[in-house]
Amino acid sequence: MKKTVFGAMFLAVISLLASSQALCAGSKTLKIAMVQWRGDTESCQGFRDGLKELGYSVEYAYMNAKQDRTELGRLLREELEPRITDFDYIYTYGTTVSKAAKTIVNNRVPQLFSNVAGPVEAEIVQSLESPGGNISGSNNAVLISAQIETIMKIIPFKRLGLFFNPREQNAMIERQRLSDAAKKFNVEVIDLRSPPAQEMLEQNLQHLIDKSILVDAVYLPLDSFMITNAKLIGDKLKEAKVKSIGALEGFIKEGALIGVVPNYYKLGKEIATIVDRNQKGEKLQNIPVRIVKEPMLMINKTTANILQITISEDVLKKAVLVE
């Protein structure tokens, strides 16, 4: 009898604690500044949905730099800095924004960075396991060696063109990682430097169409300028009959052939869990950076048909297919 009473009391206490946690999550409206580089993304939506599912009420203030460094500086100086302590969290998207904002935020308010390809290399955190400041977030990079190993089994290549914007630090980090991985597979990397000037990008695409540059395939990295031009790139590469590997879901949806890519929406939800842990008492400096746990093999079937590439049924069954 005593055990039964004790068990009932124990369950009641557990239930009460769970209820109090839920009330705690909803008792305060969080104020979050979302400093964006290229507007709203699936990561941003995942972050908001994740917080909502965890029971948080949030007021958001949006600041979109529109891929303009001058505008980013103005937003940080004139809109964020004067009222920085009004916010409970500062959400920053991408390497360029996150690194610049870190200088302004300077640990005064918790900073949550989203989709930074190399947070350690960019000196945003000390390590992925222990960020070391009032900051944590997500690393959106899928190991490039794993990408190449998987994709070479489907579409072999020896000369790999690399489109990248040399003014984006994350793109330069990806370039180095690709170069290192390529040596392992005896792949030659051909630089197709395309800084944020439309004519340079179009010129490189034309070189592929007229065959003045010869490659077996091209790689499209974690690069905001490239993803903004994903449809143009996808269309021109199909015209050139060049196989393309995208590091992001958006590239495949806009016409690139194949990729082993992160799920941005899920990564956004992972950042919401960082907020939850912080609200329950953990310091951001001790909350590990969230990484891509289950990358998706994604294939554009329309592009495969245009390029007359046959992909085995076994591979197609494992892939996320888009038209």
Looking at the domain assignment, is residue 312 inside a domain? yes
145 close to 257: Cβ distance less than 8 angstroms: no
Note whether residue 6 is domain-resident: no
Instruction: For residue 17, tell me if it sits in a domain.
Output: no
User: Is residue 121, in this structure, part of any structural domain at all?
Assistant: yes
Judge whether 107 lies within some domain: yes
Written in H, E and C, the secondary structure of 21-34 is HHHHHHHCEEEEEE
Same domain, 154 and 278: no
Clarify whether residues 128 and 207 are in a common domain.
no
Q: Is 279 contained in some domain? A: yes
* Number of separate domains in the chain: 2
In terms of domains, do 107 and 245 share one? no
Position 11 scores a pLDDT of 45
Tokens representing 114 are 């989203």
What per-residue confidence (pLDDT) applies to 1?
Answer: 47
Same domain, 190 and 123: no
- Length reported for the chain: 323
Same structural domain, 308 and 208: yes
Q: What is the pLDDT of residue 27?
A: 66
State residue 19's pLDDT score. 43
Query: The domain that contains 61 carries what CATH number?
Result: 3.40.50.2300
Task: Going residue by residue through the chain, which has 323 residues, state the pLDDT in tens, using 9 for 90 and above.
Answer: 444 444 444 444 444 444 444 444 556 899 999 999 999 999 999 999 999 999 999 999 999 999 999 999 999 999 999 999 999 999 999 999 999 999 999 999 999 999 999 999 999 999 999 999 999 999 999 999 999 999 999 999 999 999 999 998 889 999 999 999 999 999 999 999 998 888 999 999 999 999 999 999 999 999 989 999 999 999 999 999 999 999 999 999 999 999 999 999 999 999 999 999 999 999 999 999 999 988 999 999 999 999 999 999 999 999 999 98
Q: Specify whether 88 is located in the same domain as 173.
A: no
- What pLDDT, on a 0 to 100 scale, did the predictor assign at position 237? 97
Amino acid at 228: T
- 18 within domain boundaries: no
Contact 44, 93 (CB under 8 A): yes
Same domain, 188 and 317: yes
If asked whether residues 183 and 69 sit together in one domain, one would say no
Contacts of 106 (CB under 8 A, 6+ apart): none
pLDDT at 250: 93
Give the model confidence (pLDDT) of 185-211 as tens digits: 999 999 999 988 889 999 999 999 999
296 strand-pairing partners: 261
Per-residue pLDDT at 197: 82
Asked if residue 236 and residue 194 are part of one domain, the reply reads yes
Q: CA angle 286-287-290, nearest 5°?
A: 145
Give the pLDDT confidence score for residue 25 in this predicted structure: 55
Where helices occur in 28-132 by DSSP H, the ranges are 42-53, 69-74, 94-105
Angle at 235 between CA 157 and CA 322, to 5 degrees: 75
Domain limits at 92?
A: 26-140+264-286
- The verdict on 133 and 237 lying in the same domain is no
Domain assignment present for residue 15? The answer is no
Same domain, 256 and 271: no
Does residue 82 sit in the same domain as residue 185? no
For the question of whether the overall pTM of this predicted structure is more than 0.85, the answer is no
